[in-house]
Amino acid sequence: MRRRSDLLSGLIAAGAGVAAGELLAAAARPGASPVLSVGAAVIDATPTPVKEFAVRTAGTADKPLLLAGIAVLTALLAAALGPAAHRRPLWGVLGFAAFGLAGAAAAVTRPGAGPVDVAPSVLAGAAAAATLTALIALHTGNGSPAGEPRLDTGAGPRAGEHGPATQEPGLATGTGRRGADGAAAPVEPGRRRFLATAAAVSAGAVLAGGGTTLLRRRATTSVDESRAAVRLPAPAEPAPPLPPGTPPDFVTANADFYRVDTALTVPRIDPAEWRLRIHGMVRNPVTLDLGELLRRRTVERFLTLTCVSNEVGGPYTGTARWLGVPLRDLLDEAGVDPGADQLVARGADGMTIGTPTRVVRDGRDAMLAVGMNGEPLPLTHGFPVRMLTPGLYGYAGSCKWITELELTTFAAYDAYWVERGWAAEAPARTASRIDRPAPFTRLESGTGVTISGVAWALHTGIAGVQVQIDDGPWQAATVLPPPSDDTWVQWRLPWTPAPGGHTLRVRATDRTGAVQTDARATPFPSGATGWHTISVTAT
């Protein structure tokens, strides 16, 4: 019984501490959340192979799984602190103080953090330590008022304290709960106080959690309403119309567009408070608010984005109609120093993205995007403003929730992913994918089907796509015309399968004549390569 009370004390104390800290963060500054700060620190410290495994295995569920893992680990450590505090009360205090300090250290090192960001984690540690101390005192009897019996600790009375060291009938000693007549003995007043206090603290933690949820929901509603109020300007240069016969799925719906980033929660930025600062190696530093940005010349383009974490045949690519302000215009206004070979973008989530300056000024449609498929950017895709650079993987040219652009050099600064071993410059590799039929599909032999998919050689363009069935010759697929070289192409090939198992593979050729390599490479450090290959069966 005592051990269960100790474990319960540790868990309740941890819950009370986390609830108090999260409530303070939600009320004062959500970015200082102890849980999210620790989670972000864990992400930053995670080795690249582990991150790649998480993205490959869990996809967009990697973040909820991380938070669940943190919760489980916290519960295990808290459960261990309960028995430790029973033996040495100071251990419980020091244990939860360490929790609080770890959270404070994580919070204060987040981008844009200030000294006050330690407060939620400090409160969490202090509340947990105080709660554990009080609960342990109650169920050991040290917290009982004068005149109330102490709770037994399982050791029994000692000689000379209440008489001989013998067991009296009807008194609970931790091993028995029945009186002389065999009836259940009443719960001691001290234990009743412990249970009542534990219940009250738990209820308080639940209420605090509800308050935190309410505050976050209110903040979310406020940003959603502000986003809905944003009026996008008509583009000075509208996107060219899609070629006749383009299938509807050429453009990826906003809800279906892939999301890969390190943000545990989506930053919620009030557009009225958003600012963009352009500084560093420039002659004329620039600061813009959203209204000023939207009054500038805007262009609309169909652009395909792809993530460097995309495996061969993977889902992390999509095409949308983007509206934005040409990045080159802004950099020309700032007056870039000729020696600045790197443009570092910083996001509200703390991400840093390094892009070659020459790339964003070479005439391609690099932009600060404000619209996606005819509406303001969704929150998950960078609202209110994100950066896009056609032809580059996202980690090297596509910063979401952007707040800052610094002109610097590759020699002077390593952006987030470069620090972790990824290539400094990251042109997206030529790739192709079979979408239909799906792998392991059972087809009807003798009945015609269409093999189809997408291919891309971003900012270079696709010249042709070929499909190989089993070990037969490569066959040219029909490539549907794209609106530009900055998007994927859709391709198709009719086929009538014979009975049996079949292997299908695809490869693309770009407009320079380079054929997509068949050499298999993992995404790290500069993008996956290889031919997408699937197996199907015809019966």
Task: Please indicate, yes or no, if residue 364 is contained in any of the structural domains.
Answer: yes
DSSP state of 412: T
Pick from 493, 406, 407, 495: which is nearest to 455 by CA? 493
User: Are residue 197 and residue 307 in the same domain, yes or no?
Assistant: no
User: Are residue 212 and residue 272 in the same domain, yes or no?
Assistant: no
In whole angstroms, what is the distance from residue 55 CA to residue 49 CA?
10
Tokens standing for 197?
Answer: 């206090």
Cβ-proximal residues to 488 (8 Å cutoff; 6+ apart), any chain: 304, 317, 319, 454, 455, 456, 462, 482
The pTM assigned to this predicted structure is 0.81
Looking at 375, 394, 419, the residue that finishes a domain is 419
What does residue 206 show for φ and ψ, rounded to 5 degrees? -65, -40
Domain of residue 117, residue span: 2-144+188-217
Pick from 464, 444, 468, 480: which is nearest to 512 by CA? 464
User: Are residue 365 and residue 447 in the same domain, yes or no?
Assistant: no
pLDDT at 112: 75
Task: Please indicate, yes or no, if residue 240 is contained in any of the structural domains.
Answer: no
Radius of gyration of the chain (CA): 31
User: Are residue 31 and residue 127 in the same domain, yes or no?
Assistant: yes
The segments of the chain whose pLDDT lies below 70 read 1, 141-190
CATH number of the domain residue 311 falls in: 3.90.420.10
Instruction: Kindly tell me the burial class for residue 40, based on how many C-beta atoms sit within 10 Å of its own C-beta (0-12, 13-18, 19 or more).
Output: buried
Task: Please indicate, yes or no, if residue 79 is contained in any of the structural domains.
Answer: yes
pLDDT at 170: 38
Into how many domains does the chain fold? Answer: 3
| Contact present, 366 and 389 (Cβ < 8 Å) | yes
List pLDDT tens digits, range 492-519.
999 999 999 999 999 999 999 999 999 9
User: Are residue 19 and residue 71 in the same domain, yes or no?
Assistant: yes
pLDDT at 145: 42
Task: Please indicate, yes or no, if residue 502 is contained in any of the structural domains.
Answer: yes
Looking at 419, 452, 476, the residue that finishes a domain is 419
User: Are residue 383 and residue 443 in the same domain, yes or no?
Assistant: no
Burial 245-275 (b: 16+ CB within 10 A, else e): eeeeebbbebeebbbebbbbbbbbbebeebe
CATH number of the domain residue 466 falls in: 2.60.40.650
Q: Which residue has the tokens 């960078």?
A: 382
List pLDDT tens digits, range 220-271.
888 999 999 999 999 999 999 999 999 999 999 999 999 999 888 899 999 9
pLDDT at 113: 82
User: Are residue 413 and residue 447 in the same domain, yes or no?
Assistant: no
In whole angstroms, what is the distance from residue 506 CA to residue 491 CA?
10
